[in-house]
Structure 1
Amino acid sequence: MIEVKRFAGDPRVAADWDSYVEGCESASFFHLSGWLKVNEQVYGHKGHYLYASDGQRIVGVLPLVEQKSRLFGHALVSTPFCVYGGVAADTNEVQVALEDAAIALAEQLGVGYLELRNKVASSHPKLVEKCAHSFFAWPLADTPEAILAGVKKKQRAVIRHSLNANLSFRVDGDTRTAYDIYSESVRNLGTPVFPSKYFQALKAIFTERCDVLTVEHQGKAVSSVLNFYFRDQVLPYYGGGLPQARDLKSNDFMYYQLMCLAQQRGYGYYDFGRSKDDSGAYQYKKHWGMEPVPLHYQFYLVKAAELPNLSPNNPKYQFFIKAWQKLPLWLSRALGPMLSKYLG
């Protein structure tokens, strides 16, 4: 008999939850229970983490987080600030039971919509799909030379250029530098940045599963990326560079060095994350030689009349984006967290 229950942070259940996620083929790093703490402690969002059990054994999980904003609406999402989500389960029967429970919860909470960030599409008849993002990934070759040889010719030339640019790198837990560089990068794109405590929380909660690779030129940090590690995967998640990074090719150097370092540590798979289809980031990742794989974000509308569109490509946000790009950096860091908590 399958029973759907609520996980509210009990350490004993958390241990069982994470053990299940580690062994479930359809689960991702973003299904780990630590994200419940991240959302509640950093953003104040209420978690509704559901799991299915067969007796004492967990057979499926569904992390859900409630976001409520006058400006951006009321939603139940699996999972904010994460590229993957939805149900991770042993069988289709368990998946349907958890999705039915999520739909019932969305109705009970009176949200605008339920959003499941599925890597593989669900066949649930009540869900509708909006496919606007793809993810990029590839297996890591056995040596740095083989990794470089697998990159497309033009991008390979860029990496070779960066290897002669007097760049160095370090790997540690320096989330402060990662945040400073990332916040400047996203300000330049016209996007509100997260609070610095978010990066700190990711490192504190995920400990050895999280680190930072920072590239330096003449003793100054110019590019930095915060990474996650899960099973045999490395996931560069929040990366950015200062304006001089373009000429130095330090971002290209950074991602290549991360691949090489991950391979040396025994990781076999590089997950370059999601990008909006046909965006600049999408094209950049294609230049490495990785093929885009569509993501299946699926929705159940409750009070909303149409599917949400919080994309920066939405015409109604263009004036805001251009204005944000002109903000002083200190002001963008002060105002950004008030908005970004609803944009993950």
Structure 2
Amino acid sequence: MTNTQVAKLLAKLKSQKNAKGEIARQFKAVIKGSTEHQALLDQMKIISLQIDETEAALKSIEYANAEASTQARPEQEINSDQIAFEFLEPSEIWNGAFKIDIIDNPFLDTWYRYLEHHTHTPYHQDAWLRLIQTQFGHRSILLLATNQESQILGGLPLTLFSSKLFGQFAVSIPYINYGGPISQYHNINQALIHHSHQLLKKFNLSHVEIRSIQADLYPLYTSKKASMILRLPESNEALEKNLGAKLRSQYKKAEDYQPKLKVGKEELLNDFYQVFSHNMRDLGTPVYPKSFFQAILDEPNIQSTLLVVHLANKPVSAAFLIGNNNVLEIPWASTIAAANKKNMNMWMYRQILSFAIEQKFMFFDFGRSTIDAGTYKFKKQWGAEPRQHYWYYVMPEGQALPEINPNNPKYKIFIALWKLMPVWLTRWIGPSLIKHIP
């Protein structure tokens, strides 16, 4: 640990203690038992936890320095342009007073103007919440943190779910990989999640699920999943060298079957959906409606692309790509099982990486995987590095974590039966089910 990092921790600790003092002084101006009093208590708990964490970090450094027997290599400073912007974590602490409101209408111009100047994922923009509302009928809300001058300090968008099958709950943000609070202040992000506890009673929810890549925001979380991120070289030639002989041999075997690649938008939607829905049936998973993907392609504020691989004029592999600044992400991809035996999935991913380089993206996001699972290892072989996910759960004390996913044993029979259905039937009834599965 460098002296610079120790100095940063000491400065952070000083800032946190100043913030605690500022909060303590505000208790004189509020009535005990009031909403304002409870908000200050919550803020005091958060800042006290932060102080404990910082002091623990300093103690661990002292211990490590005392135990070190060899000189460590100096740590390399990482420039912000070396990492995908949406994976940067806030390090600042807000020292002043603030409040958090529940906003029933999440489409606030002031909120989206705030996002224009702050780090956020592509899924925090209003286009995504509108898609969720129009395509699936779910209502969204916004937790908004503001200072005493009503300036926005951060926000947390949440979508409300209600069904007889899965009950009532909220998610930030459903159907995709990234959600959670947005603020340049770490303690504001923490406070937003803590405040979501009020939603349980207000909307009669069983739980609130917050999908984030930021650590240390709330005590109850799971960290089984990670995004796999590849730093792209500047040329395909450089990528080819990086991939290694074994990997190259796998995707080059596919060329014996003369696959054809098509890149486009709406004109490839039918081919994409044919492959995607077929694969979802084989996995035992209800499929999204085709209109959902059409709506994404139609949205001018979302940089989307379809890529389809054909064999003998039939689509066999397909991917839905979303670009955002310097990152190209693949939220949805499928290959028909018979074509997978011909290495078409490997070949498709190699073409996608070429496309990403040609389009001048700096990073390729392979998407989310359970750590050490098959898909995780598949992505790792391309050179991708894991970026930890933290899924936070706000729920009544003592309640078991929700498992609305294929790993839940009670869904095994349903999954097995779904795999036996004809694809046309799954396309018909699948959308009415998947809308309730975030």
TM-score by length of 2: 0.72
Aligned-partner Cα distance in 2 for 1:115–1:225: 27
Instruction: Supply the distance in 2 between the matched residues of 1:239 and 1:52 (Cα, whole angstroms).
Output: 37
CA contact (8 A) 2:106 2:141 kept: no
What SS is found at the alignment partner of 1:62? strand
Pick from 164, 167, 192 the counterpart of residue 73 of structure 1.
167
User: Is the Cα contact below 8 Å between 1:167 and 1:217 reproduced in 2?
Assistant: yes
1:12 counterpart residue number: 109
Find the partner of 1:285 among 379, 390, 399.
Answer: 379
Q: In 2, distance between residues paired with 1:61 and 1:152? A: 44
- 1:101 is matched with 195
Equivalents in 2 of 1:146, 1:7: separation in Å? 50
Q: Which amino acid aligns with 1:270?
A: F
Counterpart in the other structure of 1:162: 254
SS at match of 1:194: coil
Cα gap change, 1:83 to 1:208, in 2 (>3 Å): closer
Segments of 5+ residues of structure 1 without an aligned counterpart are none
Deviation per residue, 1:209-246 (Å, 9 max, x gap): 11111112232221111111111000011111223321
**Aligned: 1:248 with 2:336:** no
1:321 is the counterpart of 2:418: no
1:28 aligns with 121
Describe the shift of the 1:111–1:10 C-alpha distance in structure 2 as closer, same or farther (beyond 3 A).
Answer: closer
Query: For 1:174-203, what per-residue CA distance to the aligned partner results, in whole angstroms no more than 9, with x for missing partners?
Result: 333222211110100111111111111221
Query: More displaced, 149-158 or 106-115?
Result: 149-158
Code of the residue aligned with 1:155 in structure 2: it is L
Q: What do the CA deviations read for 1:12-34 (whole angstroms, capped 9, x no partner)?
A: 346415414xx41xx22222221
The answer to whether residue 239 in structure 2 is matched with residue 142 in structure 1 is no
1:123–1:242 Cα change, 3 Å: closer
* 2:48 is the alignment partner of 1:48: no
Summarize the alignment of residues 58-207 of structure 1 with structure 2, pairs less than 5 Å apart. Answer: 58-124=152-218, 127-151=219-243, 153-173=245-265, 174-205=268-299, 207=301
Distance 1:71 1:225 in 2: 30
Distance 1:204 1:56 in 2: 35
Q: Note closer, same or farther for the CA distance 1:208–1:192 as it changes in structure 2 (3 Å cut).
A: closer
Larger strand proportion of the pair: 1
**Aligned residues, how many?**
338
Percentage of matched positions with identical amino acids = 27
- Between stretches 70-79 and 295-304, larger displacement belongs to 295-304
Q: Which residue of 2 aligns with 1:222?
A: 316
Shift of 1:163: 4.0
Indicate how the Cα distance of structure 1 residues 257 and 304 shifts in structure 2: closer, same or farther if over 3 A, else same. Answer: farther
Judge conservation of contact 2:154–2:188 (CA < 8 Å) in 1: yes
**Which SS does the other structure have where 1:193 is aligned?**
coil
Contact 2:196 2:394 in 1 (8 A): no
Root mean square deviation, CA, Å: 2.2
Q: 1:11 to 1:116 in 2, by over 3 A?
A: closer
Shift, 1:11, TM fit: 6.8
Matched, 1:294 2:388: yes
Q: Tell me: higher relative CO, structure 1 or 2? Use CA pairs within 8 A at least 6 residues apart.
A: 1
- Which position in structure 2 is the counterpart of 1:232? 326
CA distance in structure 1 between the aligned counterparts of 2:354 and 2:150, rounded to whole angstroms: 42
For residue 39 of structure 2, what is the aligned residue in structure 1? none
Q: In structure 1, the residue corresponding to 2:341 is in which secondary structure?
A: helix
In the alignment, structure 2 segments of 5+ residues that lack a partner are 1-96
Structure 2: how far apart are the matches of 1:206 and 1:111?
A: 34
- Is the CA contact 1:182–1:224 (under 8 Å) kept in the aligned structure 2? yes
Residues 17 and 32 of structure 1 are in contact (CA less than 8 Å); yes or no, is this contact kept in structure 2?
A: no
Query: Residue 256 of structure 1: CA displacement?
Result: 1.5
State the Cα deviation string for residues 62-120 of structure 1 (Å, max 9, x = none).
Answer: 12101112211211111110111111211123213322332222331120001111112
Give the whole-Å Cα distance in 2 for the aligned partners of 1:178 and 1:104: 42
Residue number among 304, 307, 312 corresponding to 1:210 in the alignment: 304
Amino acid at match of 1:229: G
What displacement does 1:333 show?
Answer: 0.9
C-alpha distance in 2 between matches for 1:141 and 1:332: 41
CA contact (8 A) 1:118 1:297 kept: yes
SS in 1 for 2:299: helix
| Distance (Å, rounded) in 1 between the aligned partners of 2:150 and 2:255 | 53
CA displacement at 1:139 relative to structure 2: 0.7
Aligned partners of 2:105, 2:270: CA distance in 1, in Å?
30
In structure 2, the CA distance between the partners of 1:293 and 1:63, relative to structure 1 (3 Å rule), is: same
Tell me, in whole angstroms, the C-alpha distance in 2 between the residues paired with 1:128 and 1:222. 41
1:297–1:11 CA distance, 2 compared to 1 (3 A)? closer
Choose the corresponding residue for 1:37, options 130, 145, 149.
130
1:166 and 1:17 map into 2 onto residues whose CA distance is 49
